[in-house]
Amino acid sequence: MKKRIFRYVKHITATILVLGTVGILFGLYHGASFHYGDDPKMMNWDKDGPYVFYKNDSVFNMNYIRGNQDNGFSLDQKEYTTATEIPAFCYFSLDSTQFEFSINTDMKTPVNTYHDNNRILAISDIESGFKTFRDFLISNKVIDKNLNWTFGKGHLVLVGDFVDRDFSTTQVLWFIYKLGQDAVKHGGLVHFILGNHELKNMQGNYETASQKYFHVAAILGKQQDQLYDSNSFIGKWMASKNTIERINGILFTHGGLHPDLVKYHVTLDEINKIVRKHYYKPYYPKSEKNLTQLLISTHTGISWYRGYFKDDLTQEEVERGLNKFKAKSIVVGHTLQSKVNRQYKGKVIGIDVKHPKDYHKNFPNTQSEGLLIEGNKYYRVFHNGEKEEI
């Protein structure tokens, strides 16, 4: 009897181990991971900011959070007129660094088509990882160690989802703002293509936002949906951005082009205008099928579509979409890839990879990647500045 029980327990244990191992391997294959080693500095919100809100058309308030959870919080608040450039800084608690920039209320919607044959570096889905983003740009010589722009007349293309899931959303957004100012001074450009997570935040959907920002809103005396609304400077700035652009004959959008888009007579400019009208309107499926529904849907919309990697598309369907907008290829984020890669005979480039997190470690360990385009050559670029043609 004892031998029988022992054999039974042994078989059950072996089965559990085998199934557990298979489950873990299956999860890892599909991008699963677990995190460990949380850094307590993620709860250090002293000097966090700035949080800038319009008081009226000519005045805004700049707020920095001061204090901590043990002793309580307060606001360092100043009032400025919108007619002047305001010096500001953004503090990053993990390594006690900060960067400076000026706030200028003159915002313009960028054009959506560029042609100059200058270099392009694209990266997506940073998900509030300021250190990861900053260090990647330093290694790939977009900026130097003092965060000065060194990419000349190049295009830095940020293909959406730079917010949510981590503790440095504020730092990331102001860093993009600063980079945009610096690039223009050297003839370069920063393109911030909004992804579905930027839109979710603007629409008040915070299911994947760090709890930090619920508390930040409370400290500011606001609701969380006010952090990025049209009365927020950073929200108004985000609302000026596009969701699709063509640079040197290559399309950049967070999700992709649904095949049905070719049925409509629509330009890139019209697409951006339609989607922009809905930046602050949460989506729900409607019974009527039209161009607007196609473009903003959480399944078919250009910031949400996953069809290049999830649907059984033909080469012809992919190329019809590209031909409609006179594009030779399309670069997308949104759908996680094991590495930056080209599919559909090189026409679709997926650049969403799992980046390291600032305030904790992950298993398996991950490293950032991006895409460099020089002329007609595409390179997979790594966290250490090395590159590999694809």
Give residue-wise pLDDT tens across range 214-253: 999 999 999 999 999 999 999 999 999 999 999 999 999 9
pLDDT at 365: 74
Chain mean position to CA 220: 25
388 compared with 11, residue with greater pLDDT: 388
Asked, for residue 295, whether it belongs to a domain, the answer is yes
Render pLDDT for 79-93 as a digit per residue (tens, 0 to 9): 999 988 999 999 999
Structure-model confidence comparison of residues 62 and 37, the more confident one: 62
The answer to whether residue 41 sits within a structural domain is no
Contacts of 363 (CB under 8 A, 6+ apart): 33, 34, 35, 36
- pLDDT tier, 42 (very low <50, low <70, confident <90, very high otherwise): confident
> Computed over its alpha carbons, how large is the radius of gyration of the chain?
23
Q: Residues of the chain with pLDDT > 90: what percent?
A: 84
Q: Do 24 and 156 fall within a single domain?
A: no
Query: Could you tell me if 7 and 118 lie in one domain?
Result: no
Least Cα distance to 142 among 120, 116, 173, 169 occurs for 120
pLDDT of 223: 95
Is residue 17 domain-shared with residue 164, that is, in the same domain? no
Residue 271 maps to a domain: yes
Q: HEC string of the chain? A: CHHHHHHHHHHHHHHHHHHHHHHHHHHHHCCCCEEECCCHHHHCCCCCCCEEEEEECCEEEEEEEEEECCCEEEEEEEEEECCCCEEEEEEECCCCEEEEEEECCCCCCCCCEECCCCCEEEECCCCCCHHHHHHHHHHCCCECCCCCECCCCCEEEECCCCCCCCCCHHHHHHHHHHHHHHHHHCCCEEEECCCHHHHHHHCCCCCCCCCHHHHHHHHCCCCHHHCCCCCEHHHHHHHCCCCEEEECCEEEECCCCCHHHHHCCCCHHHHHHHHHCCCCCCCCCCCCCCHHHHHHCCCCCCCCCCHHHHCCCCHHHHHHHHHHCCCCEEEECCCCCCCCEEECCCCEEECCCCCCCCCCEEECCCCCEEEEEECCEEEEEECCCCEEEC
Q: Does 26 score more than 60 pLDDT?
A: no
As a whole number, mean pLDDT of residues 151-179 equals 97
pLDDT in the model for residue 6: 61
Q: Is the pLDDT of residue 13 over 80?
A: no
pLDDT of residue 25: 46
Which structural domain range is residue 8 located in?
2-32
Q: 347 burial class (0-12, 13-18, 19+ CB within 10 angstroms)?
A: middle
Is a pLDDT exceeding 70 seen at residue 261?
yes
Q: Looking at residue 268, what is its pLDDT?
A: 98
Cβ count near 83 (within 10 Å): 9
| Of residues 153, 368, 112, 383, the one with CA closest to residue 253 | 112
Residue 199 resides in a domain:
yes
**Does a structural domain hold residue 57?**
no
20 has a pLDDT exceeding 60: no
Residue 143 has pLDDT above 70, yes or no: yes
Domain match, 26 and 170 both: no
**With 90 as the cut, is the pLDDT of residue 10 above it?**
no
Neighbouring CB atoms inside 10 A of 266's CB total 17
Number of C-beta neighbours around residue 302 at 10 A: 28
Within this chain, do residues 21 and 136 fall inside the same structural domain, yes or no? no
Q: What is the mean pLDDT of the chain?
A: 92
Q: Name the domain count of the chain.
A: 2
Q: Which CATH number covers residue 294?
A: 3.60.21.10
Confidence at 68, pLDDT banded by 50, 70, 90 = very high
Residues 348 and 207 in one domain: yes
Contact call for residues 192 and 252 (beta carbons, < 8 A)? no
Residue 372 predicted with pLDDT over 70: yes
Same domain, 17 and 122: no
Let me know if residue 78 belongs to a domain. Answer: no
pLDDT at 312 over 50: yes
Same domain, 113 and 225: yes
The CA–CA distances, whole Å, from 336 to 125, 322, 350 equal 9, 22, 8
**Residues 155 and 28 occupy one common structural domain:** no
Q: What is the mean pLDDT of residues 305-331?
A: 97
pLDDT digits (tens, 9 = 90+) for 92-121: 999 999 999 999 998 999 999 999 999 999
Domain shared by 291 and 187, yes or no = yes
pLDDT over 50 (residue 67) = yes
| Residue 40 belongs to a domain | no
Residues 114, 262 within the same domain? yes
Same domain, 147 and 18: no
Would residue 47 count as lying in a domain?
no
Residue percentage of the chain with pLDDT more than 70: 90
- Confidence label for 23 from pLDDT (cuts 50, 70 and 90): very low
